[in-house]
Structure 1
Amino acid sequence: MSVLFETSLGDIVIDLEVESCPKTCENFLKLCKMYYYNLNAFFNVSKDFLAQTGDPTATGTGGECIWSYIDKSSPRYFTPELVPKLKHTHKGTVSMAIAPALEDGTKGGCGSQFFITLADNIDYLDGRHAVFGHVVEGFETLDKLNDVFVDDQGRPFKDVRIRHVVILDDPFPDPPGLIQPPSSPTRPPDNSTRIAEDEDPLATLPEEEEEERRRQAAARASALTLEMVGDLPFANVRPPENVLFVCKLNPVTRDEDLELIFSRFGTIMSCQVIRDKKTGDSLQYAFIEFDKREQAEQAYFKMQNVLVDDRRIWVDFSQSVARLNNTWSNNPKMGSRMGGGRGEREEGGRRSGYGGRDDLEETSRYRGSGGGRGRGDDYGMVFDLGDRDDRPRKRRSRSRDGERDGRKRKLSRSRSPPPRDRNKRSSRSRERQRSRR
């Protein structure tokens, strides 16, 4: 009766002493059938001595027999089967670790932990632990396990795990209540902080890839900072893929000109040349929003470095999320107010829209809720120039200070001397001139 262990260092095949140790072999096989040993770590490795595993907690204090695993009211351990003729004579001997009795009254015995010897003639273990199998294939794997680097507690710095267990032959019927899981576990049962068994600590990436990863990490940190200060609605926001940024424009180029030129690539939802807020002069860049991403990509490839109004323009995909930030608030209670129906709605009690979608794509977020051109279609930039005629004029409210200022003006006017008569002034000047003569 054999079992195949697929470890991170290689495969190991174990033959079991079914006739000599039936209870121990039954416990071992049924635990293998329940995927109990899958992703367990070798938590204690002593060079030229043994390698211990079978504890899901990887601490040396966990584990239980199959009967306790099925029924928690059953004892945690079972009585070990110590057979005098089975000794730790050869390398690759497999034995169950016998736990001592605990202070709370729990009797000692065999649970789930077992170990494999890594050298010959280890007489010290004879009579202390129950031998129930031998390694018949995979001695090169044992050599690799014997050479791993460990700490002062015998735990490998890099995890060595049992990836999968295959039962080649099982002569025992299943005990009552045993139900095999549908699949093997995907996560280790212990919270290991060691180097993962599939990770290479000495592996180095190319310089370009390392630089790219550093830039991505820096970008994530910057985005998180901007989210904290309120400049971004959330850190993982990304710009739309259907909006183009066009720069190096001629100051005389108008919105209508760009819309006419780019309309041959598809339906344009909005086209706006950004202008100075005070003077209305063009800042020589614009945003063009297409209905579909494919249309924006085609315009990007075709219009790069094209001559428009005696200027070679530069076209790129927009990286601005300013418009998105205008419709979001970091306060959850203000989300429905700020959304205003522009890209955010309620579906079945769950908020959807930008935050409810992974791709964060909504073409309407760059247009006003009215759907028409005008102030609702601008991009919320610092230098946007809206329709001045449509702006509401502020009414001057007469405050108390204003009334006081008016009274001061009237008082100053009343105290000023009255204007002189021009005719009297001209006659006096004539008399003075005659007297001088």
Structure 2
Amino acid sequence: MSVLFETSLGDIVIDLETDACPKTCENFLKLCKVYYYNLNAFFNVSKDFLAQVGDPTATGTGGESIWSLIASQGGPSTPRYFTPEFVPRLKHRQRGTVSMAVAPAVGDEHKGGCGSQFFITIGDNIEYLDGKHAVFGHVVEGFETLDKLNDVFVDQDGRPLKDVRIRHVEILEDPFEDPPGLVIPDSPPVKPPDNSTRIAEDEDPLETMPEDEAEEIRRKKAAQASALTLEMVGDLPFANVRPPENVLFVCKLNPVTRDEDLELIFSRFGKIMSCQVIRDKKTGDSLQYAFIEFDKREDAEQAYFKMQNVLVDDRRIWVDFSQSVARFNSQWSNNPKMGPPLARGGRGRARGGFGGRDDLEETRRYRDQSSRAGSDYGMVFDVPDGERRHRKTRSPSPRRRERSTERPRRSRSPRPRRRDDDPERDRRRRGSRDRQPKDSRNRYEHRR
């Protein structure tokens, strides 16, 4: 009576002592039949000692007998463990001995016994386990697998750092009838029963991939990180946004080419939703590329194939599908003639501000105005208008403030000329004074 275990390190064939240990072998075979051991991990491996498996939780505290499993599915109440079968002639003397792990009794309610956990010895002459754990089989094939299992790297608890699992169990011969209430699943499980965070049993941490594939993965991760950053600052509506498939990117344009010229040329392929030549924000000069948005993707594809390298205004244009997602914000360019961004309902910088924050835009505008006005503010911060106006002036004295409240300030506008003022008469008066004799002027001054 044999069982084949297909593990991630190789195959192991176990011969069972069905005559000496019938109850233990029946429990073991029926658990194998219901795929109980499939995808179980070896959770305790001690070098030159043993390798333990059979706990679905991979903690060393789980597992139950086949009769307890049937009871949990709706059968009659049955204890979790059954009484172990100790046979004096079956000892832990040779490497590859298969033995059921016996759980100790805890108090009066929890009685010890055998459940589903078993171990395989990977060392010779471990006789001090005799009488403590019940031997019920021996490994007859797969000793090279035991050598690999003995050399695995484990942590401080004896758990392999890389999972070693039982992938499949094949019963070669079963002499026992199925117990009442046994339900056999239609297919083996496809997911491990435990929540392992170790290296997967089918994963090679030292495996290297070709340089081109590794470079492609690095570029993809870098693109994802950049997209996430642009989403955080508001330049992208969301990180996983895809460029529209109905928008063409046209470059190498002549600077004299206008929006209406391109729209007229490309309109023969279908309805155009928008056509815009991107221009410099300050000078308004063409940057010699444009975006053309069609109503249908098929029209954009047709224009892409037909307009490549076509002569437009003495220039060979280049046409490609757009990779920009700026259209999702509000518009393709930042042309101030297109209207206020807030009215267009855009996001990010199209709405004003930096990253969608209007306060940062306000401080930037204030900084620019201060630099144009010759202000010596070195930091960007908000200053109240009154404080900004009187920061460099001395506060008026109390007497001056009182005087200013009593009477209004005199106007500095020039005195209006009276109607009877005669410029010629004034000129004659000034001339007559200049022609007075010198002595008469001296007498007058002396008299004063």
Scaled by the length of structure 2, the TM-score of the pair is: 0.70
Query: Within 2, Cα distance between the matches of 1:18 and 1:298?
Result: 76
Q: Is the counterpart of residue 424 in structure 1 residue 422 in structure 2?
A: yes
8 Å Cα contact 1:275/1:384 also seen in 2: no
Q: Give matches, 1:337-348, under 5 Å.
A: none
Of 203, 210, 218, the match for 1:206: 210
Query: Within 2, Cα distance between the matches of 1:81 and 1:286?
Result: 85
Partner amino acid for 2:30?
K
The alpha carbon displacement at 1:36 in A equals: 1.9
8 Å Cα contact 1:274/1:384 also seen in 2: no
CA-to-partner distance for each residue in 1:217-244, whole Å, 9 max, x for gaps?
2332233333334433322222223322
8 Å Cα contact 1:37/1:54 also seen in 2: yes
8 Å Cα contact 2:279/2:333 also seen in 1: no
- Closer, same or farther: CA 281–53 of 1 in aligned 2, 3 Å: same
Partner amino acid for 2:67?
W
Query: Within 1, Cα distance between the matches of 2:244 and 2:52?
Result: 55
Of 305, 317, 322, the match for 2:321: 317
**After alignment, is 91-100 or 209-218 more displaced?**
209-218
- Closer, same or farther: CA 173–219 of 1 in aligned 2, 3 Å: same
The alpha carbon displacement at 1:92 in A equals: 2.4
The alpha carbon displacement at 1:381 in A equals: 3.5
Query: Within 1, Cα distance between the matches of 2:420 and 2:309?
Result: 73
Of 138, 141, 150, the match for 1:137: 141
Q: Is the counterpart of residue 75 in structure 1 residue 79 in structure 2?
A: yes
The alpha carbon displacement at 1:104 in A equals: 7.1
Secondary structure of residue in 2 paired with 1:71? helix
CA-to-partner distance for each residue in 1:76-119, whole Å, 9 max, x for gaps?
21111122233334432221111111257311111111111224
Partner amino acid for 1:86?
L
Partner amino acid for 2:182?
L
The alpha carbon displacement at 1:291 in A equals: 4.5
- Closer, same or farther: CA 325–36 of 1 in aligned 2, 3 Å: farther
Query: Within 1, Cα distance between the matches of 2:276 and 2:434?
Result: 77
Partner amino acid for 1:244?
L
* 2:5 equivalent in structure 1: 5
* 2:335 equivalent in structure 1: 383
Q: Is the counterpart of residue 216 in structure 1 residue 220 in structure 2?
A: yes
Scaled by the length of structure 1, the TM-score of the pair is: 0.71
Partner amino acid for 1:383?
N
* 1:31 equivalent in structure 2: 31
8 Å Cα contact 1:276/1:384 also seen in 2: no
* 1:52 equivalent in structure 2: 52
Partner amino acid for 1:417?
R
The aligned length equals 365
CA-to-partner distance for each residue in 1:32-72, whole Å, 9 max, x for gaps?
23322122111122233221111122222221122222324
Partner amino acid for 1:194?
R
- Closer, same or farther: CA 412–168 of 1 in aligned 2, 3 Å: farther
Query: Within 1, Cα distance between the matches of 2:265 and 2:171?
Result: 70
Of 241, 244, 249, the match for 2:248: 244
- Closer, same or farther: CA 32–292 of 1 in aligned 2, 3 Å: farther
- Superposed CA RMSD: 3.5
- Closer, same or farther: CA 316–143 of 1 in aligned 2, 3 Å: same
Q: Between the two proteins, what is the percent identity of the paired residues? A: 78
Query: Within 2, Cα distance between the matches of 1:211 and 1:10?
Result: 34
CA-to-partner distance for each residue in 1:339-361, whole Å, 9 max, x for gaps?
xxxxxxxxxxxxxxxxxxxxxxx
Q: Is the counterpart of residue 270 in structure 1 residue 274 in structure 2?
A: yes
Of 166, 169, 174, the match for 1:165: 169
Structure with greater Cα Rg: 2
* 1:19 equivalent in structure 2: 19
In the alignment, structure 1 segments of 5+ residues that lack a partner are 327-378, 392-410
8 Å Cα contact 2:13/2:139 also seen in 1: yes
Query: Within 1, Cα distance between the matches of 2:66 and 2:81?
Result: 9
* 2:364 equivalent in structure 1: none
